[in-house]
Amino acid sequence: MTELRGPVRIVGTGLIGTSIGLALGRLGVVVELVDADPDNALMAERIGAGSRLVQIEPQLVVVAVPPDHVGAVIAEQLRQTDAVITDAASVKSKPLTDASALTDDLSRYVGSHPMAGSERSGPLAGRADLFDGATWAITPHETSDPKAVDLVRRLAEAAGARTVELSVQDHDLAVARVSHLPHLMSALAAGTLVDAPNSHLELAGQGVRDVTRIAAGDPRLWTQIVSANSTALTGLLERIRDELDRMLVALGKEEAGEELASILGQGVSGAVRVPGKHGAPHIELVPVLVTIPDRPGQLARLFADAAESGANVEDLRIDHSPGRPVGEVELAVKPASVDQLVRVLTERGWSVHR
């Protein structure tokens, strides 16, 4: 076991670097912050992610810069320090290839990728709990030192994540499917809203919000991510194109029912395969919808009442459209807890529907 004692140097103090600094700060690990943009490093320091100048040599360097720059920073940090180096990039082949072109010995480098993030960028979007319960992929390459792999695993665990080890190639295939394709589909769906009249947008409910949230991610970052994974993405996009053609043909028919139901049914079968919280197998959750008045303290009261019922709220969604005097809270609970939750909330005056 290789103990994570720090100091940890974080290069790139945006959303991910700052969140890692904040998470390690919870354990008292000394963190040094470095960024090409001095304002971002200063901001990360101000919100408590670490310090800009640490006098001791780092034990570990985390490179959290956009994918196109990762290889060069890895090579630079290997030259400048004796530390183990990891990176957080959303693709793993490109950083390895780029770094290999710049240095001969990559034994102290182990790629990794926290599978948690946000559509927001920069240090102000950083959160100490971003990785709690998330999956963190570790992608050793052929010459990675096992002790370095162990230390990177320690980093992920210290940040609150559970680790999954897989090859660089397998990682890129996996994220093409579970992260990069969904991002592109979200961008395409959101793009159709650009010229939508306000009278259409006024009808926006939770469905369109669910589908478009990630489309708000930084286009420069995402261009780098998807370009670096173009081969895997091309195969998936071709499959989507074929399905779109099938859907168009079906919609054009008078009796489209069966064909459409088969495409939508495929969607249901795929959606239930998405694992549940903490990477656990998918568990069936039942949504319980509660209307809440738009007044301070109502959410706290609702949670207290839900807790009284004994139900564990597994997931939560708040839908509050501006201009409405009430909001709607969706509490997702296990089927066994539903009846008791509904009974207790109704008794306490909440307007509840399933």
Ligand X SMILES: O=C(O)C(=O)C[C@]1(C(=O)O)C=C[C@@H](O)C=C1
Ligand Y SMILES: NC(=O)c1ccc[n+]([C@@H]2O[C@H](COP(=O)([O-])OP(=O)(O)OC[C@H]3O[C@@H](n4cnc5c(N)ncnc54)[C@H](O)[C@@H]3O)[C@@H](O)[C@H]2O)c1
Cβ-in-10-Å burial (0-12, 13-18, 19+) of 77 comes to buried
Closest to 141 measured CA to CA, from 115, 108, 179: 108
Euclidean distance between CA atoms 39 and 34, whole angstroms: 11
Task: Return the range that interacts with ligand Y (CB under 6 A); candidates 13-21, 100-108, 160-168, 335-343.
Answer: 13-21
Q: From the list ligand Y, ligand X, none, pick the one residue 16 interacts with, judged by a Cβ distance below 5 to 8 Å according to partner type.
A: ligand Y
Contact between 81 and ligand Y (CB under 6 A)? no
Q: From the list ligand X, ligand Y, none, pick the one residue 44 interacts with, judged by a Cβ distance below 5 to 8 Å according to partner type.
A: none
Q: Provide, rounded to whole angstroms, the least separation between the CB of residue 180 and ligand X.
A: 8
The DSSP H or E segment spanning 31 is strand 31-34
Give, as ranges, the residues between 118 and 147 that touch ligand Y (CB under 6 A). 118, 121-122
Q: From the list ligand X, ligand Y, none, pick the one residue 24 interacts with, judged by a Cβ distance below 5 to 8 Å according to partner type.
A: none
Q: Rule CB under 6 A: which residues touch ligand X?
A: 90, 115-119, 179, 214
Contact between 233 and ligand Y (CB under 6 A)? no
Contact between 12 and ligand Y (CB under 6 A)? yes
Closest to 19 measured CA to CA, from 42, 39, 46, 48: 48
Instruction: Give the CA-trace dihedral at 173, 174, 177, 181, to 10 degrees.
Output: -70
Locate 350 and state its tokens.
């909440």
Of 169 and 346, nearer to ligand Y (C-beta) is 169
Q: Which residue has the tokens 């009796």?
A: 255
Q: From the list ligand X, ligand Y, none, pick the one residue 179 interacts with, judged by a Cβ distance below 5 to 8 Å according to partner type.
A: ligand X
Of 86 and 309, nearer to ligand X (C-beta) is 86
Sequence-distant (≥ 6) Cβ neighbours of residue 186 within 8 angstroms = 211, 212, 213, 214, 215
Residues that bind ligand Y (CB under 6 A): 11-17, 35-37, 40, 64-67, 69-70, 73, 88-90, 114, 117-118, 121-122, 218, 221, 225
